[in-house]
């Protein structure tokens, strides 16, 4: 901190006032929690419960495979067990755990009080919990998904999986992914906008760079999977044949959509862990991180490259050599940025005087395991080797080396490093060493030998194997190793229980770190900092021991509670200079109610009670509308003081408030889904058998009219935002135009197209038109909200945030409508051109 600021009030009174405003209420009030400390811890604890369930399932798998022709489980049960093991570990443990970690840590590392959208974080948590419960409920009920965590078609299609098992996966995972997307938006906006004063983009802590990249990858990586899940569910529920080759579909479309998500997912899981290592390692080595800039460049490059190698999971499906070379080259290339990070960490250790504490032990475990996983990854990136090892236990061993090495060992390092922050106690460490060695040895025994089992030809996902294949000894050793590893994890759990119960209290910053999360009391108060710092050097090279007491004394920005408002500082994303005070919403049950309504929607889909779905949708929309209604008062205030003689506007009047950026990001995710849909349809035209269809008749006049009308909606919204006296008329025009365009798109989709179940081409056109109609309907809701505001007398000249957000949607839906019409006409002409 370079400046001296004084709030002029009693620090004790300041802390009490802040706790009253920011604290979560006891009893039922806990369900209304929106505070990032509470939500982050809930995410992590829930993820650990799912990790334990996934671990038990892994033990069942290893028990089954320990001997030949085992009768422990039958094929059906085994299929459910390995599917749920993979799904839980990937979707319910790894991603949510680091989301929770980011939610808990980021505001602290960035020197602020909370995330940009506390209610969104709470909503994401409830969606995650309810989605996870649907999956676990299905497991208990014996109807768990059984087609593998990748849900390949046609195995997961209704012909081969007629029960609700696959529906549970498709709907449950999509429900959970809402939380991933909401976390992605929240993390990006928080890193860009909600930071300490003076924290320019070159000063943000390295962990924030990692999370910025990861969240952007999630924003672009998850929509293809969501689209794939929607298309497969639509096929299963309404017989639209996207993946049925007898009617112009193609099972490979699912693989493309799944792995477009699935491969970046590996890096989405690895990078947060790598970010934690880049934060912890310099502290334990006692020297700054080597190659900060190079690491930032490496993770940005890695993010892009990771999207260019999805087909390396599909080398054996029949792809021309030249196309294989693109993916093989990208697969090999992605090792380079990974290696840059590893060399930077080694250089950091070499420059410093490392302390061989428990977190460091786990980091060494990470190095050993992850490097082996990376090397076998390069082997699998080479097409000839992959053809030999594809779908064998070699791949199982590789992915566990990458994921356990790249996530679980760093997670344990993080836990030992940051649990003192969370609990206010330091570990006693009697069990920590033994636990580490049991996990490390157990893991390597279990999975190193699995490479050999795979090279001997043992395929994945088989529930039994013959005794004369020579696989039994290796499998038995692997199973013993996995049991040892499980005991190691049990010991880790016991170690943490003992830490919480008997840990040694400490005053502040036990690791002598240079990051801001240690510049606060531990366990942290709900508001993190009594006042916000101004920093003048990189945010992981600070002195929390000096900064902490000054912030606690209110000697920073916003060190004066104002009208019981939850205020955080908004900054310019590049310079880090304060440009707005962001007023956060108070504790509320709305996220819970909204998630419950969303859950009801998914359950109705699952049980095929389609006639009730409009009611559930109305409930979801109603709940979200209440979020906006309760936002602040309609009266604007002048710029407010943040202390130290500075006055800045509240976010509602700022040029780029967090919610505006959030809408842009939401539309980026939405556009990714739309582009995936359009490319998916083109893929069917290029690759699927049984094309072209017999008849594709489109009502061109009505489609062109729908596109023109959707542009009118866009014109109406612009009119409303440019002239204050036109707010009502402009938004009324937008409302009517949206409704009309939606009706026209629906008219063509439902009444003039041939039956979409007849051919994938018709199904594709149908889904694209429904997408355009849906956007028109949502646009009408935005316009209706703007009309309601105008009628209530909001001053639209200065308080235009809601209108600007609405305008983004209107513009996007107009563009989507025009693209839909253009695509439909083009596809029709392509089909006509190829009709014999």
Partner 1 sequence: MMRRPVLIMVLGFLVWSGAFLGIYFTQATACSLATENQFLHPSGWALRSVLIGLFLASVVMVVAVYRLQRRSSALSGDTRTSDFLKGVTTYVSVAALFSTAFCFIGVFWLTLCAL
* Contacts to partner 1 by CB under 8 A: 192, 200-202, 293-294, 296-298, 300-301, 304-305, 307-308, 318-323, 325-326, 329-330, 333, 336-337, 572-575, 656, 679, 682, 686-687, 834
Pick the closer one to partner 1 by CB: 329 or 711. 329
Contacts of 738 (CB under 8 A, 6+ apart): 710, 713, 776, 777, 779, 780, 783, 810, 813
Q: How far is the CB of 647 from partner 1 (least distance, A)?
A: 21
Q: How far is the CB of 253 from partner 1 (least distance, A)?
A: 13
Other Cβ atoms within 10 Å of 51 Cβ, number: 20
Q: How far is the CB of 202 from partner 1 (least distance, A)?
A: 4
Task: Tell me how far the alpha carbon of residue 821 is from its chain's centroid.
Answer: 32
Pick the closer one to partner 1 by CB: 300 or 382. 300
Q: How far is the CB of 302 from partner 1 (least distance, A)?
A: 9
Q: How far is the CB of 822 from partner 1 (least distance, A)?
A: 17
Q: How far is the CB of 115 from partner 1 (least distance, A)?
A: 19
Phi-psi group of 627: left, alpha or beta (phi > 0 → left; psi -120 to 50 → alpha; rest → beta): alpha
Q: How far is the CB of 805 from partner 1 (least distance, A)?
A: 16
Pick the closer one to partner 1 by CB: 323 or 462. 323
Pick the closer one to partner 1 by CB: 495 or 579. 579
Pick the closer one to partner 1 by CB: 53 or 260. 260
* Longest CA pairwise span in the chain (Å): 85
Euclidean distance between CA atoms 382 and 247, whole angstroms: 35
Distances, alpha carbon 769 to alpha carbons 265, 274, 674, 821, in Å: 30, 42, 11, 8
Task: Tell me how far the alpha carbon of residue 657 is from its chain's centroid.
Answer: 22
Give the pairing type, strands 566-571 and 578-584: antiparallel
**Phi and psi, residue 513, nearest 5°:** -80, 165
Going by the DSSP 8-state scheme, the letter that residue 736 receives in this structure is H
Q: How far is the CB of 260 from partner 1 (least distance, A)?
A: 11
Pick the closer one to partner 1 by CB: 264 or 405. 264
Pick the closer one to partner 1 by CB: 385 or 437. 385
Q: How far is the CB of 333 from partner 1 (least distance, A)?
A: 6
Pick the closer one to partner 1 by CB: 214 or 712. 214
Burial (0-12, 13-18, 19+ Cβ within 10 Å), 718:
middle
Going by the DSSP 8-state scheme, the letter that residue 749 receives in this structure is I
- 796 neighbors 789 (Cβ within 8 angstroms): yes
Q: How far is the CB of 41 from partner 1 (least distance, A)?
A: 31
- 758 neighbors 740 (Cβ within 8 angstroms): no
Euclidean distance between CA atoms 181 and 91, whole angstroms: 13
Q: How far is the CB of 300 from partner 1 (least distance, A)?
A: 5
Q: Is the dihedral of CA 498, 500, 505, 507 positive or negative?
A: positive
DSSP secondary structure of 81-117:
HHHHHHHIIIIIIIHHHHHHHHHHHHHHHTTSSS-S-
Pick the closer one to partner 1 by CB: 321 or 563. 321
Q: 511: which 2 tokens?
A: 């690791």
Other Cβ atoms within 10 Å of 289 Cβ, number: 23
The CA angle 460-134-757, to the nearest 5 degrees, is: 75
SS3 string, 490-512, reads: HHHHHHHHHHHHHCEECCCCCCC
- 162 neighbors 79 (Cβ within 8 angstroms): no
Q: SS3 helix, strand, coil % of the chain, rounded to 5?
A: 70, 5, 25
- 143 neighbors 165 (Cβ within 8 angstroms): yes
Pick the closer one to partner 1 by CB: 298 or 435. 298
Q: How far is the CB of 324 from partner 1 (least distance, A)?
A: 8
Q: 529: which 2 tokens?
A: 């900092």
Euclidean distance between CA atoms 476 and 480, whole angstroms: 6
Q: How far is the CB of 250 from partner 1 (least distance, A)?
A: 12
Pick the closer one to partner 1 by CB: 38 or 571. 571
Pick the closer one to partner 1 by CB: 318 or 793. 318
Pick the closer one to partner 1 by CB: 309 or 551. 309
Contacts of 701 (CB under 8 A, 6+ apart): none
Q: How far is the CB of 308 from partner 1 (least distance, A)?
A: 5
Q: Inter-axis angle of helices 95-109 and 118-140, to 10 degrees?
A: 160
Q: How far is the CB of 293 from partner 1 (least distance, A)?
A: 5
Q: How far is the CB of 577 from partner 1 (least distance, A)?
A: 10
Q: 24: which 2 tokens?
A: 């979560």
Alpha-helical regions (H) of 688-793: 700-722, 727-747, 760-792
- 569 neighbors 578 (Cβ within 8 angstroms): yes
Q: How far is the CB of 386 from partner 1 (least distance, A)?
A: 15
Distances, alpha carbon 2 to alpha carbons 197, 512, 539, in Å: 11, 21, 13
Distances, alpha carbon 612 to alpha carbons 176, 237, 240, 398, in Å: 22, 15, 21, 46
- 370 neighbors 406 (Cβ within 8 angstroms): yes
Alpha-helical regions (H) of 630-699: 658-687
Pick the closer one to partner 1 by CB: 640 or 656. 656
Q: How far is the CB of 771 from partner 1 (least distance, A)?
A: 20
Euclidean distance between CA atoms 236 and 171, whole angstroms: 12
Pick the closer one to partner 1 by CB: 306 or 531. 306
Pick the closer one to partner 1 by CB: 456 or 671. 671
Pick the closer one to partner 1 by CB: 188 or 519. 188
Pick the closer one to partner 1 by CB: 346 or 686. 686
């Amino acid at each position: 901190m370079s400046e001296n600021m004084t709030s002029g009030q009693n620090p004790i009174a300041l802390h009490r006032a802040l706790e009253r405003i920011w604290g979560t209420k006891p009893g039922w009030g806990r369900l209304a929690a929106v505070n990032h400390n509470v939500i982050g811890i809930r995410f992590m604890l829930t993820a650990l419960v799912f990790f334990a369930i996934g671990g038990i399932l892994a033990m069942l798998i290893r028990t089954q495979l320990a001997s030949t022709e085992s009768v422990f489980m039958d094929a059906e049960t085994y299929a459910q067990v390995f599917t749920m093991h993979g799904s839980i570990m990937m979707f319910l443990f790894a991603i949510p755990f680091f989301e929770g970690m980011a939610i808990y840590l980021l505001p602290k590392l960035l020197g602020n009080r909370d995330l940009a959208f506390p209610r969104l974080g709470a909503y994401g948590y409830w969606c995650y919990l309810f989605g996870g419960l649907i999956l676990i409920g299905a497991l208990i009920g014996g109807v768990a998904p059984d087609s593998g965590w990748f849900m390949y078609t046609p195995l997961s299609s209704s012909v081969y999986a007629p029960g609700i098992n696959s529906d549970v996966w498709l709907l449950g995972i999509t429900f959970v992914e809402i939380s991933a997307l909401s976390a992605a938006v929240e993390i990006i906006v928080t890193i860009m906008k909600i930071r300490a004063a003076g924290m320019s983009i070159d000063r943000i802590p390295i962990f924030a760079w990692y999370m910025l990249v990861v969240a952007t990858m999630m924003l672009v990586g998850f929509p293809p999977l969501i689209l794939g899940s929607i298309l497969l569910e639509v096929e299963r529920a309404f017989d639209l044949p996207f993946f049925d080759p007898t009617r112009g579909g193609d099972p490979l479309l699912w693989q493309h959509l799944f792995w477009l998500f699935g491969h970046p997912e590996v890096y989405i899981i690895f990078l947060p862990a790598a970010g934690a290592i880049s934060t912890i390692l310099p502290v334990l080595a006692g020297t700054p991180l080597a190659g900060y800039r190079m690491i930032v460049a490496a993770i940005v490059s890695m993010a892009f490259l990771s999207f260019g190698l999805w087909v390396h999971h599909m080398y054996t499906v029949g792809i021309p050599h030249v196309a294989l070379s693109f993916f093989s080259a990208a697969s090999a290339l992605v090792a380079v940025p990974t290696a840059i990070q590893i060399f930077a960490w080694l250089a950091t250790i070499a420059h410093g005087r490392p302390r061989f504490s428990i977190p460091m032990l786990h980091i060494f475990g990470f190095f050993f395991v992850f490097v082996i996983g990376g090397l076998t990854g390069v082997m699998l990136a080479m097409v000839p080797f992959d053809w030999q090892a594809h779908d064998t236990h070699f791949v199982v061993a590789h992915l566990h080396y990458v994921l356990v090495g790249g996530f679980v060992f760093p997670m344990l390092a993080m836990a030992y490093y940051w649990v003192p922050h969370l609990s206010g106690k330091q570990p006693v460490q009697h069990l920590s060493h033994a636990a580490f060695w049991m996990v490390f040895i157990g893991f390597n025994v279990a999975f190193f030998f699995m490479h050999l089992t795979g090279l001997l030809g043992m395929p994945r996902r088989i529930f039994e194997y013959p005794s004369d294949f020579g696989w039994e000894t290796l499998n038995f050793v692997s199973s013993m190793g996995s049991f040892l590893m499980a005991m190691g994890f049990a010991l880790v759990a016991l170690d943490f229980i003992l830490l919480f119960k008997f840990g040694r209290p400490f005053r502040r910053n036990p690791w002598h770190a240079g990051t801001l999360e240690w510049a606060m009391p531990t366990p942290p108060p709900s508001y993190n900092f009594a006042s916000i710092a101004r920093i003048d050097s990189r945010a992981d090279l600070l002195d929390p021991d000096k900064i902490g007491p000054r912030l606690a004394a209110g000697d920073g920005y916003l060190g004066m509670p104002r009208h019981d408002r939850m205020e955080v500082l908004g900054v310019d994303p590049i310079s880090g200079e304060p440009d707005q005070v962001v007023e956060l919403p108070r504790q509320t049950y709305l996220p819970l109610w909204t998630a419950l309504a969303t859950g009801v929607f998914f359950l109705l889909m699952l049980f095929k009670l389609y006639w009730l779905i409009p009611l559930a949708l109305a409930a979801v929309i109603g709940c979200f509308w209440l979020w906006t209604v309760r936002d602040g008062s309609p009266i604007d205030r002048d710029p407010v003081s943040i202390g130290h003689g500075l006055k800045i506007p509240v976010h509602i009047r700022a040029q780029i408030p967090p919610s505006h950026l959030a809408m842009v990001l939401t539309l980026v995710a939405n556009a990714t889904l739309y582009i995936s849909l359009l490319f998916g349809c083109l893929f069917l035209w290029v690759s699927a058998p049984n094309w072209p269809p017999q008849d594709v008749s489109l009502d061109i006049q009505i489609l062109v009219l729908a596109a023109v009308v959707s542009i009118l909606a866009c014109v109406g919204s612009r009119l409303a935002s440019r002239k204050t006296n036109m707010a009502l008329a402009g938004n009324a025009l937008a409302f009517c135009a949206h409704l009309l365009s939606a009706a026209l798109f629906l008219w063509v989709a439902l009444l003039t197209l041939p039956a979409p179940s007849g051919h994938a081409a018709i199904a594709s056109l149908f889904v694209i038109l429904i997408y355009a109609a849906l956007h028109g309907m949502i646009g009408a809701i935005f316009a209706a909200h703007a009309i309601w505001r105008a009628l209530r007398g909001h001053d639209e000249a200065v308080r235009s945030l809601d209108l600007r957000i609405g305008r983004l949607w209107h513009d996007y839906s107009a563009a989507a409508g025009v693209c839909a019409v253009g695509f439909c006409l083009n596809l029709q002409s392509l089909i006509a051109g190829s009709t014999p």
